[in-house]
Amino acid sequence: MKRALCIMSGGMDSTLCAYLAKKQGFKIIALHFDYRQRTQLKEKECFEKICKDLGVYKSYILNTDLIENIGANALTDTKIPIPKNELGQNEFPITYVPFRNGIFLSIAGALAEKEKCQSIFIGVVEEDGSNYPDCTKKFIKKAQKFINQGTAIKHKISIQTPLIKFKKKDIVSLALKEKVPLELTWSCYENNDLACGECDSCLLRLKGFKQAGFKDKIAYKI
């Protein structure tokens, strides 16, 4: 049985990706990163519930708190406020982490070698981070070459990004069609209990549900 390493944050995109991998017949190895982001507690809880629902073969939670030490950003530094209602107003929002997907993919490459996976699934979406160089198709191609050159695996590893060209409304629609439990996912950058409804990530999620014509079942503060 083919094996897929799925990078899963606990959010909608990576969750849908993992369900799509399962549908393609892969045995799932789930990988979650803990980098002491504000909502780590909630994301981990969501990740674990999703893994259970999906029936993954194995799961890893890896510490990447080095991200906190690389640079000040609002996701890990609680002294920097999370921007509210500023979606799309800045080239690089303060929630930007330099080369985060580069770090995540290289770790996934190491784990894919260990677990003998044929594919790595990552839920990058160009629309979300249109200014982020590590969210593009070009970057993913380079990452695939980098991993295949540097690992000792006999077969080639492919990096799959089924959602890269999707809009949030298409993600919501497809997820609901595929019976992905979106109520188990988390998007808010700020809170661990009720989603704030105002950060970039909540705004994107709410827009997606609205445009898809569905109601988001998670609880919001406002």
- Where does this chain bind a copy of itself (CB under 8 A)? 60, 62-67, 69-71, 92, 97-103, 105-107, 109-111, 113-114, 131-134, 136, 138-139, 142-143, 145-147, 149-152
Residue 51 annotated as binding site: no
Q: Assign 114 to helix, strand or coil.
A: helix
Check whether 196 is labelled as a binding-site residue: yes
| 6 in a labelled binding site | no
Residue among 53 and 68 whose Cβ is closer to a copy of itself: 68
CB 215 to a copy of itself: min, Å: 36
Q: What is the closest distance, in whole angstroms, from the C-beta atom of residue 146 to a copy of itself in the complex?
A: 4
Nearer to a copy of itself, 146 or 214 (CB): 146
Q: Residues of 78-87 as b/e, b for ≥16 C-beta within 10 angstroms?
A: eeeebbeeeb
Taking the alpha carbons at both ends of the chain, their separation in whole angstroms is: 46
109 belongs to an annotated ligand binding site: no
Compute the distance between CA of residue 12 and CA of residue 9 in angstroms, rounded to an integer: 9
Q: Which helix (H) or strand (E) holds 34?
A: strand 27-34
- Give the residue with the Cβ less far from a copy of itself, 9 or 101: 101
The response to whether 17 counts as a known ligand-binding position is yes
Q: Residue 57 Cβ, how far from a copy of itself at the closest point, in Å?
A: 16
Q: How far is the CB of 115 from a copy of itself (least distance, A)?
A: 9
Sign, CA dihedral 3-163-133-90, equals negative
Which string of DSSP letters, residue by residue, matches 125-177?
-TTTTTT-GGGSHHHHHHHHHHHHHHS--SSPPEEE-TTTT--HHHHHHHHHH
Show binding-site residues: 8-18, 188, 196, 199, 202
